[in-house]
Structure 1
Amino acid sequence: MVVGIASLFVSALVATQAIATPIKARSPYAVKEKHLKPRAWRKLDKAPRDHLINLQIAVKQSNFEQLEKHLYEVSDPAHPRYGDHLSADDVTELIKPTDDSLDQIHEWLEENGIVPTAYSTAKDWIHVTLPVETIERLLDTEYHTFEHADGGRVVRTEGWSLPRHLHAHIDTIQPTTSFFRARAASVDSFVSPIWEAQDFSINGLAEKKMNDPEIAKVCNVSSVTPECFKTLYKTKGYKTQAADKNAIGFTNYLGEHPIRSDTEQFLQKYNPEAVSSARDFKQIVIANGPGDQPLTPAETEEGTSKEANLDVQAIAGISYSTPITSYSTGGSPPFIPDINTPTNTNEPYLVWVNYLLDQKSFPQVITTSYGDDEQTVPKSYATRVCQQFAQVGARGTSLLFSSGDNGVGRYGTCVSNDGKNTTMFLPSFPAGCPYVTTVGATKNFQPEVVAYRAAFTGPDGVTRGNYTSGSGFSNYFEAPGYQKEVVSKYVSDLKGKYDGLYNKKGRGYPDISAQGLYFAYFWNGTEGVISGTSASCPLTGGILSLVNDALIASGKRPLGFLNPWLYSVGYKGLTDITEGSGVGCGVDGFPATKGWDAVTGLGTPIFPELVKLAGGKLPHQ
């Protein structure tokens, strides 16, 4: 299924017209937002005047507070409305802007000869496609080309303005000040088996003696397989019962697209009964993203689709025969590179969630293995994207995001983006959004501990950096009600350790964890292993999709937004992880402890217990 940019939004009426006259406004312009470029970026020349940008205007939603209230009521197992998820029309009615907001924004655009190219269903997003020179006049700003340390380039500004009377009607406009890069949360992949010469004890990889003979027989720390996951998390033997009413999805960015032939090889070896999944999963292409195709020579050279393959294989390896949907999102509108801007300047993350919300239905679990440092995006952008996720949750879908792979922050980067270079831990986004379930990573089996691998140089002479399950507290979002008590206790138990380096009142993450070191997978026809919360997130999604299957088969509704249930009831169906820490920023980082902690969350899944606690029944019960 291919979805072009014209299909992303309702009623694309006429093409945008560039203005040639100075901007007009009925009130003086004032700065709406400033956001300094992150340290990894450097400013180059002024952006090309004719470079086209698909500008996304976020109109203030009329009643988000009521939507949030509904979200928590239908997600709270103690509330009479638990499970009574909202319809697409219900959500649209709650968040559609007021006529006054739309009228004033339209007046501003029309005065300057600009006609919107498209709207979201609720009209809370307005799109206009304009050249840089026009946007600079419209927002009283100046765009430049910025280059990342890894060579990627985008067109952005560090501040923009609006007529003063519009400040209360527009939450954000992007792409302007956002440097979000949707970095995949996966680390080094290797040809399997891992080099015989590697000494696992050096990196703390050696597994302690396992007491459970079944786990010992199928689990090997050097290549963790679906048979191990099924045994460890007790899904082994479960047969799906509601495949016609249940589904799971995962997202792809940065040119990633799952390769069916690789997935077929993986399933033939590790889950033969599920081989048909490699042929049957649905591939939805959004905004000119990559299609359903084999790897090209250039993609093979770049290592493209290792992440996408990991995601689909982790899901299919444990949740057969639940239907799987892959979303591959490109930039919007079609991007034409030039010498100054060789990479896409648009925000595919926002394109994906807005596409999703324009659909009448979507999978009950969707996993995303991408994120970036929270401070790479302005708070207004993070808040508005997070509100979009709340709408998805209110409609009965569990959104899972990886916690990241750098513990409390990557070495050498742990400073603020406020111009003062203050030393600080680096929380991740969207991991810190309170309306999503964030997934951390573990390793070993009896017991599981925080996923950690120290830097080392392999026989090939390549040095691999540290990898640690992402860990921390948001600087943008406060701890929500469902976790305030456990976050407060955890912070108190730290007894002042790391004071000043993190936000004690912030939303803590992750919420839950699962295996995330040396996953067996196939890419480009070859078996290998790959690590990261990019592995633990789709694996957890697959397990939760099985919980939904059991619930639906029992006449119950799916879990929906998980966190209120997890923190009040579901935690009893998790194995608490108490060893290891979120190494990063040159320190040990937040420790795993009894109860919730800011590196493994509430623990790892015990499938039968989760089904029981959610009110479902297994076939033998």
Structure 2
Amino acid sequence: MFLAFLSLSLGLLAHAELSPYTLHEKRTNIPAGWTLTRRHDASSVLPLRFGLAQSNIHNLASFLDDVSHPDSPNYGDHWTAAQVAKTFAPSDETVETVKAWLISSGLSPDRLRVSPTKGWLEVNATVQEAEDLLLAEYHVYTHDSGKEHVASSSYHLPSHITHHVELVTPSIHFNTVISNRFAEKRSLGTYMKAGQPGSPGKGPKTTGEVNTFLTELEDCDKQITPDCLRALYGLVYEPLSGDNNSYGIAEYTPQAYLQSDLDMFNRNFSADLVGKSPIFVSIDGGVLQTENQSLGYNGESDLDLQYAMSLVTSKQNVTLYQSGDIVQGASFENLLDALDGSYCTFEGGDDPEKEDAVYPDPHSDEPGAYEGPEACGTVKPANVISTSYQYNEADLSVFYTSRQCAEYGKLGLMGVTILYGSGDSGVAGSGTGCLNPDGSQSANGTIFNPSFPSTCPYVSSVGATQVNPGAKVTDPESAAAQVIFTSGGFSNRFAMPSYQANAVGSYFTNYKPPYSGAIYNASQTSRGYPDLSANGINYVIASNGVFQLVQGTSAASPTVGAILTMVNDARITAGKKPIGFINPTIYSDSFKDAFNDITNGTNPGCGTDGFSAVPGWDPVTGLGTPNFPKLVAKWLLLP
């Protein structure tokens, strides 16, 4: 056995010496707000991570359809975490090939770490070693806010390695942030990437304080309260299986809710929840910071939890996934690492000596730095998870978005419903505007800029609607057009999933947009979003001791999450399994009348009126808003 392994290793080493390098990833533009500052110090250490190619990933869509499509005989037969881990783990050949290349390049075997899932191969390398290894140049970039970041404009891999490695970090991605070592004073969130989930200022938009409550349903055009949402969507339901059901809300430090705000809201709208807190789960040092308090720091988490908890009532617990320490914060990837269930304990368990690129926090001298191990498989995912943050698809590389999207698909296989707000900028991108022909983003760009993860075919994207001024809750809603414009459109990365083909095909046949393919992906073969919508305008929330009106798809997503959590309660009470990945079901013929079709409004941006809401699915409000009585009745008929 040893001789066979030695022979394989020697063969791989010989192959490595002869294999020419090829370009693996390249960034042509620096993200908006960043400036190249200097070459990185050659002796500095980088936590280099190689994302290894996963096995069977080409079968993910069919695997997921098999357990999620209502016509499948295996509907609801969700996989275990161990089954998922085993099916998609990189092959031994992939692991050994990459290891052999690194060893032949001068890195000693004892410096290499393979994650328990075999998904990542990690090494702490100097900048000089990394540059020699990847034929790259590492620079330090400075954001307008003073934050710093290490990245390269491109990197290369030996040709025999390219199909074994999906991506390398840090490299072209603006996701891993280094500290501003030259700043004399550092405030909360100094190391946080601008635009990163949890960054202050990324919460809901406000139109000011509320001095008088309008509690009658005829006033829902002016103020949205939990009772308005119950009336809009028929959510008249009391949970019966709260102990066997679960609903999770994802937040990212320094965003943090205040218990005083939660109690203030509940005293007025859900008295039986006063004094109750969400189940708190800390991921990678996640904390409920109180050092900075404002709508920008507290508004999003306050909004998400106040409405999630109120709508599912005191008989259903809500879990808060708080990711990232007070120094670095976190990204979607940190949450996914923690939700991987038994991935990190499968076949050998977690490695106590494992070193991660972000955690333990390398800034151990900073107050609040989390020095524990990276959260890896430490959290059992809830049946429904809502996240109110997003990136622009163009912010991230193709490899990064593809790898992360696959993780959402795996959670779907395990029966988890993943919801993301579609965004608040119409067809434009968040913060940086629209795309230019060269792929860069700017305020005067003219090309539609889709959001991610909404464009991932394995998540359910939630747009926003509104009760029109002067209208009643019984009147049809329109696409959100007060303060924010609900985001929607077509991906530039992901192909149209099979479950969406009929709906999107009908849209193009009957309501083709009046734009050329020069400003959006008009191929009619790409993923369209959002999938469904809910009200996102004029929500009353308590934040920092005052009531305010806020707007955003960040309000719509937790509302939809609460409704689906109640559907799960009904199914669990009936002895059935949670609904899991919902898209194949809600797009099916049997669910056609289960949504309130939205046929009025647009999502402007990039110098256009954007798309229009039309009968049936559209890239503004998706299939429409949920009709809870119809949804619960239809899902109860499924196995």
Q: TM-score, normalised by structure 2?
A: 0.80
Q: Determine whether 1:142 maps to 2:142.
A: no
Question: In structure 2, what residue type is equivalent to 1:491?
Answer: F
Q: Determine whether 1:409 maps to 2:428.
A: yes
What 5-or-longer segments of structure 2 have no aligned partner?
Answer: 1-15, 176-194, 342-376, 468-472
- Shift in CA distance, 157/546, structure 1 to aligned 2, threshold 3 Å: same
Q: Determine whether 1:284 maps to 2:298.
A: no
* Structure 2 match to 1:364: 383
Secondary structure of 1:328 counterpart: strand
Q: Determine whether 1:348 maps to 2:349.
A: no
Question: In structure 1, what residue type is equivalent to 2:633?
Answer: K
* Structure 2 match to 1:530: 550
Cα deviation 1:257-277 (Å, max 9, x = unaligned): 22222112211211112335x
* Structure 2 match to 1:452: 481
Question: In structure 2, what residue type is equivalent to 1:327?
Answer: Y
* Structure 1 match to 2:598: 577
Q: Determine whether 1:328 maps to 2:322.
A: yes
Q: Determine whether 1:62 maps to 2:55.
A: yes
Q: Which moved more, 1:440-449 or 1:34-43?
A: 34-43
Cα deviation 1:468-525 (Å, max 9, x = unaligned): 0011100000111001121122123344511221112210000010010121111222
Q: Give 1:551 deviation, angstroms.
A: 0.8
* Structure 2 match to 1:18: none
Tell whether the 8 Å contact from 2:197 to 2:330 is kept in structure 1 after alignment. Answer: no
- Shift in CA distance, 313/555, structure 1 to aligned 2, threshold 3 Å: same
1: CA distance, partners of 2:169 / 2:426: 29
- Shift in CA distance, 269/54, structure 1 to aligned 2, threshold 3 Å: farther
* Structure 2 match to 1:207: none
- Shift in CA distance, 163/81, structure 1 to aligned 2, threshold 3 Å: same
2: CA distance, partners of 1:140 / 1:133: 10
* Structure 1 match to 2:505: 488
Q: Give 1:131 deviation, angstroms.
A: 4.2
* Structure 2 match to 1:587: 608
2: CA distance, partners of 1:347 / 1:116: 25
- Shift in CA distance, 348/570, structure 1 to aligned 2, threshold 3 Å: same
Q: Give 1:215 deviation, angstroms.
A: 10
Superposed counterparts of 1:32-431, under 5 Å: 32-36=24-28, 37-49=30-42, 51-111=44-104, 112-113=107-108, 115=110, 119-149=114-144, 151-179=146-174, 181-183=195-197, 186-193=203-210, 217=217, 219-236=219-236, 238-276=237-275, 278-279=276-277, 281-289=278-286, 291-293=287-289, 295-296=290-291, 299-300=292-293, 303-320=296-313, 321-330=315-324, 344=328, 348-358=331-341, 359=377, 361-410=380-429, 413-416=433-436, 418=438, 423-431=446-454
* Structure 1 match to 2:21: 29
Q: Give 1:188 deviation, angstroms.
A: 2.3
Question: In structure 2, what residue type is equivalent to 1:98?
Answer: S
Q: Give 1:418 deviation, angstroms.
A: 3.2
Q: Which moved more, 1:524-533 or 1:113-122?
A: 113-122
Cα deviation 1:10-64 (Å, max 9, x = unaligned): xxxxxxxxxxxxxx85523322111222344332222344555443321111112
Instruction: Choose from 513, 517, 529 the match for 1:509.
Output: 529
Secondary structure of 2:163 counterpart: coil
2: CA distance, partners of 1:186 / 1:443: 19
- Shift in CA distance, 506/553, structure 1 to aligned 2, threshold 3 Å: same
- Shift in CA distance, 497/139, structure 1 to aligned 2, threshold 3 Å: same
Q: Give 1:286 deviation, angstroms.
A: 1.6
2: CA distance, partners of 1:90 / 1:534: 33
Secondary structure of 1:587 counterpart: coil
Secondary structure of 2:243 counterpart: coil
Question: In structure 1, what residue type is equivalent to 2:458?
Answer: Y
Tell whether the 8 Å contact from 1:473 to 1:506 is kept in structure 2 after alignment. Answer: yes
Q: Which moved more, 1:372-381 or 1:398-407?
A: 372-381
Q: Which moved more, 1:550-559 or 1:117-126?
A: 117-126
Q: Give 1:546 deviation, angstroms.
A: 0.6
Instruction: Choose from 463, 476, 488 the match for 2:493.
Output: 476
- Shift in CA distance, 450/352, structure 1 to aligned 2, threshold 3 Å: same
Seq. identity, %: 33
Tell whether the 8 Å contact from 1:571 to 1:603 is kept in structure 2 after alignment. Answer: no
1: CA distance, partners of 2:324 / 2:262: 22
Question: In structure 1, what residue type is equivalent to 2:231?
Answer: T
Cα deviation 1:456-478 (Å, max 9, x = unaligned): xxxxxxxxxx5200111000001
2: CA distance, partners of 1:182 / 1:440: 20
Instruction: Choose from 613, 624, 630 the match for 1:603.
Output: 624
Cα deviation 1:88-124 (Å, max 9, x = unaligned): 1110111011110010112223341264675544211
Q: Give 1:576 deviation, angstroms.
A: 0.4
Secondary structure of 1:103 counterpart: helix
Tell whether the 8 Å contact from 2:295 to 2:543 is kept in structure 1 after alignment. Answer: no
Question: In structure 2, what residue type is equivalent to 1:249?
Answer: G
Secondary structure of 1:615 counterpart: helix
2: CA distance, partners of 1:329 / 1:193: 31
Tell whether the 8 Å contact from 1:67 to 1:91 is kept in structure 2 after alignment. Answer: no
Tell whether the 8 Å contact from 1:116 to 1:126 is kept in structure 2 after alignment. Answer: no
Tell whether the 8 Å contact from 1:407 to 1:469 is kept in structure 2 after alignment. Answer: yes
2: CA distance, partners of 1:219 / 1:482: 38
- Shift in CA distance, 267/302, structure 1 to aligned 2, threshold 3 Å: closer
- Shift in CA distance, 611/176, structure 1 to aligned 2, threshold 3 Å: same
Tell whether the 8 Å contact from 1:452 to 1:469 is kept in structure 2 after alignment. Answer: yes
1: CA distance, partners of 2:465 / 2:266: 23
* Structure 2 match to 1:340: none
2: CA distance, partners of 1:542 / 1:81: 26
Question: In structure 2, what residue type is equivalent to 1:193?
Answer: V
Tell whether the 8 Å contact from 2:466 to 2:536 is kept in structure 1 after alignment. Answer: yes
Tell whether the 8 Å contact from 2:204 to 2:300 is kept in structure 1 after alignment. Answer: no
Q: TM-score, normalised by structure 1?
A: 0.82
